[in-house]
Amino acid sequence: MPSENSVIKVQGLEKIFPGDVRAVDSVSFDVREGEVFGFLGPNGAGKTTTISILNTLMLPTGGKAEVLGEDVVTQASKVRKGIGLVPQDLTSDEELTGRENIELQSKLYHIPSAEAAKRTDELLSLVGLTDSQDRIVKTYSGGMKKRLEFATGLVHKPKILFLDEPTLGLDVQTRTSIWEHIRKLKSETNMTIFLTTHYLEEADGLCDRIAIIDHGKIIALDTPDGLKKAVGGDVIEVEVAECGMDVLEMIKTIKGVFLLEGKCTGSKARIKVPDSNAALPLILESFWNKKIAVLNVAVKKPSLDQAFLEYTGRELRDEDKSNGGRPSVSAPKRGRFRRRK
Amino acid sequence: MLGETYALVIRDLRRWYRTPGQIILVFTTPLMWLLLFGQAFNIGKLAQDAPGMDIREVFGGATDYFSFMAVGQTTFIILFASLFSGVSLIWDRKTGFLAKLQVAPIPRASIPISRMTSTVVKSLLQAVVVLVLAAAFAFIPGLSGLKFSQDFGILDALGIAVFLILLGLSLAALFVALGLIVKSEETLFGLINLLNFPLMFTSSALIPIALMPDWLTAVARYNPITFVVDGMRQLVFHTSVGAEYSVGVDLLGITVFAVLMMTLGAVLARKALLRS
């Protein structure tokens, strides 16, 4: 369970690249111990740059960031001991076996060999690679490589695990299995997980709290439910034979229903209310009393999709397309860390 | 520091010996040079015709060209391996492996030092292969072999290793650092191509200084490879006949070069690995 104890404290963080490119623009947030915290935003929003600063790969140009109580600029080596990173790209050594990759990582984190062997066994079985542990990684499928990457990031039991776009470019099956691993980690350990994603579904399904980031700025930060609520209420669509002024007038007068919005779209009356559970019976009762035949009823709960649209004025998908002619985001890119220099 | 450097050296060596055909290449490349350059290109015959001249004066104490060039061939192996030592770092940067190392709580120095060490280990093994192959040529009819002095001993072998290690470390220090700085392999390949043959052929590794034109002699006498081959030949043939310098001066020369290159490499690598 998340506690009130902050393990990441970011205050006015800023990264301006040459040419006045504001990749991260006065960002402030706290991540609490044991929570899954998500950075949701389109490509180029500043997610990977923020992660790189928190991971001591990059220096900020302004502001302050503390990870596990240590300053990321001045106490980098202390920060490094407590964090694990599963980068966006597949960074395992393709010429080594899966097992050798995990064991190499455990040596880099100074884990005694007896314990390292035990940890490696556990992690291989956790990600289902026990049978292929002695195969060269080159022969692995994309999904296997990603799971190996995940296991490698966990070898030293980091207090905070950073997952940069953990399911980017993966097939549905692998994506689901990665999500399962994340949920398992969350329920079985007290590990804090910081993830970035541009998949709404992923942020919604995994995160305790989400920060929506766009153009280097955090524009909203709340629980998934909180973000959805802020968008406005549920939409109840009542299909009738003919939707007209009389129907709308009737809706306005329903007792006990706080109407946010009411309009007709074709033969459907779109009624927006703060809470559909309470309003629906009352609305249907009114229709019944006025003897208007109801053909169909649909309730639409607000989605994170709508929330994103509300906050940024765009849909996530639009951003991908208008990326200045850069290739589509679905293909995993190599050289991630280089590109930002 | 030692633990992670060792782990990274093992990683490099595994990558090396698992490359398909690597073992064959280790043997065939030196074999080609020894056969085609050493045996076919027999400039000893030309020199022999000059009357009243000790051929050993020309060939750095060796009694034939092949023995002379076989010793030089070891530096050729070291030179090429060291020049290419930084290339894999460019790949490591592209795949994100380097970033993973930078996130790990390891001293930054372990990254270049491990790469230099694995380069020296690999090329030293190949240099031994060169010397053994060259000596074994004596048993093949029609070929001449590398003739070690009767007094050649373990200390001489160690001395040769020291010379080759110093040469390998100095060049690898620079090129590993360049591999960290330069972001594209094309640029690095360009630098390698610019330096490999000029460095090789302005030294006395394959061509005796006595046969060089004057302007080249001046360059060759101060080429770091010359210090190495000059010292090694004296250890292999146990004579100072035909030597440029004494073994001590040779050792001093290559040590100074190594210290300079490693300092330069350390400054460059540090700069490249610093966060920005």
| CA-based nearest distance B121→chain A, Å | 19
Tokens of A34: 């044991």
φ/ψ region of A63 (left if φ > 0, alpha if ψ in -120 to 50, else beta) reads left
CATH number at residue A120: 3.40.50.300
What's the gap between Cα A50 and its chain centre?
A: 14
Quote the pLDDT of residue A325. Answer: 36
SS3 A221: strand
pLDDT(A328) > 70: no
| Predicted pLDDT at A70 | 96
Confidence of residue A317 (pLDDT cuts 50, 70, 90): low
Instruction: Please list every residue in chain B whose beta carbon sits closer than 8 Å to the beta carbon of residue A55.
Output: 103
Minimum-distance CB partner of A89 among B3, B14, B96? B96
Nearest-by-Cβ selection for B94 from A87, A105, A334: A334
> What are the pLDDT digits (tens) for B16-67?
998 888 888 888 888 888 988 888 776 766 666 566 677 888 888 888 889 9
pLDDT score of B176 more than 70: yes
Measured CA to CA in angstroms, residue B27 lies from B32, B34, B133 at distances of 9, 11, 9
Q: Which residue has the tokens 């928190």?
A: A54
The answer on A113 and A22 residing in a single domain is: yes
ipTM above 0.90, yes or no: no
How close B104 gets to chain A, by Cα (Å)? 6
Token digits of residue A189: 């350990």
Please state the separation of Cα A173 from the chain's center in Å.
18
Cβ pair A87:B15 closer than 8 A: no
Unique residue bearing structure tokens 């120095």: B109
Q: Is residue B259 pLDDT above 80, yes or no?
A: yes
Q: How is residue A149 annotated by DSSP? A: H
- Is the distance from CB of A101 to CB of B100 less than 8 angstroms? no
Instruction: Report the pLDDT averaged over residues A234-261.
Output: 83
Residues 59-98 of A with CB under 8 A from B: 59, 76-77, 80-81, 83, 85, 87-96
Q: Is residue A217 part of a domain?
A: yes
Q: For residue A108, which residues of chain B lie inside 8 Å, CB to CB?
A: 4, 7, 101, 104-106
Instruction: Tell me which residue range forms the domain holding A291.
Output: 233-300
User: B209: which residues sit within 8 A by CB, 6+ positions away?
Assistant: B217, B220, B221, B226, B244
Distance between CA B158 and CA A184 in Å, rounded? 57
| Nearest residue on chain B to A74, alpha-carbon basis | B275
Q: Cβ contact (<8 Å) for A337 and B96?
A: yes
Q: Are residues A139 and A76 in the same domain?
A: yes
Q: What is the pTM of this model?
A: 0.83
Is it the case that residue A337 has pLDDT exceeding 60? no
Residue B51 CA to residue A110 CA, distance in Å, equals 68
Give contacts of A87 with chain B, Cβ < 8 Å: 96, 99-100
Main-chain dihedrals φ then ψ at residue A262, nearest 5 degrees? -145, 125
pLDDT at A333: 37
- Number of structural domains in chain A: 2
**Structural Rg of chain A based on CA atoms:** 24
Question: Closest Cα of chain A to B266: distance in Å?
Answer: 20
Per-residue pLDDT, averaged over B128-135, amounts to: 94
Whether residue A59 and residue B275 make contact (CB cut-off 8 A), yes or no, is: yes
Alpha helices, DSSP H, located in chain B: 2-18, 22-32, 44-48, 55-58, 65-83, 87-95, 97-103, 110-136, 154-181, 185-201, 214-220, 224-237, 247-273
C-alpha B21/C-alpha A50 separation (Å) is 43
Residue numbers of A between 116 and 175 with CB closer than 8 Å to B? 136
In chain A, alpha helices (H) = 47-54, 76-82, 98-108, 113-126, 142-154, 172-188, 200-206, 224-231, 245-252, 276-289, 304-312, 316-321, 336-339
- Stretch B167-183: mean pLDDT, rounded? 95
pLDDT reported for residue A18 = 92
Q: How far is B90 from chain A (nearest CA, A)?
A: 10
- What per-residue confidence (pLDDT) applies to A321? 43
- What are the structure tokens assigned to A65, written together? 């960031």
Q: What pLDDT, in 10s, does the model give residues A292-310?
A: 888 999 888 877 777 777 7
Boundary (domain end) residue, out of A223, A255, A286: A223
Residue A49 inside a domain? The answer is yes
Q: State whether A11 and A126 are in the same domain.
A: yes
Start-to-end C-alpha separation, chain B: 24
Indicate whether A200 and A73 sit together in one domain: yes
How buried is B36 (Cβ within 10 angstroms: 0-12 exposed, 13-18 middle, 19+ buried)?
A: exposed
Residues in A closer than 8 angstroms to B19, CB to CB, are 95
Nearest Cα residue to A177 out of A201, A146, A203? A146
Q: Rounded to an integer, what distance in angstroms lies between the CA atom of residue A105 and that of residue A155?
A: 7
A21-32 and A234-240 strand pairing: unpaired
Range A185-213 average pLDDT = 91
Which residues 150-209 on chain B approach chain A with CB closer than 8 angstroms?
A: 183
Residues A218 and A247 grouped into a single domain: no
Contact of A261 with A236, CB cutoff 8 Å: no
Return the pLDDT at A255: 78
pLDDT band at A4 (very low <50, low <70, confident <90, very high): confident
In the predicted model, what is the mean pLDDT of chain A? 86
For B83-95, write each residue's pLDDT tens digit: 999 999 999 999 9
Q: Determine whether the interchain pair A100/B14 forms a contact, defined as Cβ–Cβ distance below 8 Å.
A: yes
Q: Classify burial at A143, counting beta carbons within 10 Å of its beta carbon; exposed 0-12, middle 13-18, buried 19 or more.
A: middle
CA A163 to chain centre: 9
Q: Indicate whether A210 belongs to any domain.
A: yes
* Helices A304-312 & A224-231 angle (0-180, nearest 10): 60
Q: Report the helix count and the strand count for chain A, using DSSP H and E.
A: 13, 14
Tell if the CB–CB gap between B275 and A89 is shorter than 8 Å: no
Among all chains, which residue has been given the structure tokens 């590794």?
B205
Model pLDDT for residues B183-197, shown as the tens digit of each residue? 899 999 999 999 988
Measured at the CA of A119, the angle between CA A113 and CA A120, to 5 degrees, comes to 85
pLDDT at B50: 62
For residue A316, pLDDT over 80 is answered with no
A173 domain residue, yes or no: yes
What CATH number has the domain bearing residue A237? 3.30.70.260
Q: Within a domain: residue A22?
A: yes
Q: Among A174-183, A308-317, B259-268, whose mean pLDDT is lowest?
A: A308-317
What is the average pLDDT across A158-170? 91
- Beta carbon pairs, A and B, within 8 Å: 86
Contact A24, A46 (CB under 8 A): yes
B102 touches chain A (CB under 8 A): yes
pLDDT for B153 equals 92
| Half-sphere exposure of residue B244: CA atoms within 13 angstroms, side-chain side | 26
Q: Is pLDDT above 50 for A341? A: no
Beta-bridge mates of residue A212: A40, A220
* Beta carbons of B94 and A85 less than 8 Å apart: no
Percent of chain A exceeding pLDDT 90 equals 50
Q: Give B6's contacts in chain A (Cβ within 8 Å).
A: 107
pLDDT of A322 higher than 70 = no
Q: Which residues contact A1 (CB under 8 A, 6 or more apart)?
A: A34
Mean pLDDT of A84-104: 94
3-state secondary structure at position A89: coil
How far the first Cα of chain A sits from its last, in Å, is: 37
Residue A199 shares a structural domain with residue A272: no
Do the chains contact at B275 and A56, CB–CB below 8 Å?
yes
In a domain, A251, yes or no: yes
Q: Is A67 contained in some domain?
A: yes
Assign 3-class secondary structure to B209-238. HHHCCHHHHHHHCCCHHHHHHHHHHHHHHC
pLDDT band at A320 (very low <50, low <70, confident <90, very high): very low
**Is A32 in a helix, a strand, or coil?**
strand
Give me the pLDDT at residue B203, please.
93
Name the pLDDT band for B133 (thresholds 50, 70, 90). very high
pLDDT tens, residue by residue, B216-231: 999 999 999 999 999 9
Confidence of residue A330 (pLDDT cuts 50, 70, 90): very low
The reply to whether A211 and A242 lie within a common domain is no
Query: Domain check: are A209 and A270 in the same one?
Result: no
Same domain, A135 and A242: no
Q: What is the DSSP letter of B39?
A: I
- The verdict on residue A141 lying in a domain is yes
Q: Which of B14, B103, B180 to mutate to test the interface with A (most CBs of A within 10 A)?
A: B103
Q: What letter does residue A136 receive in the DSSP assignment?
A: B
pLDDT, position B246: 95
Q: What percent of chain A has pLDDT over 70?
A: 91
pLDDT score, position A290: 85
Same domain, A70 and A110: yes
Residue A335: band (very low, low, confident or very high) from pLDDT cuts 50, 70, 90? very low
* Percent of the residues in chain B that have a pLDDT greater than 70, as a whole number: 96
The answer to whether B271 contacts chain A (CB < 8 Å) is: no
Q: Tell me the nearest-neighbour CA distance from B105 into chain A, angstroms.
A: 5
What share of chain B in percent tops pLDDT 90? 68
Chain B residue closest in CA terms to A103: B7
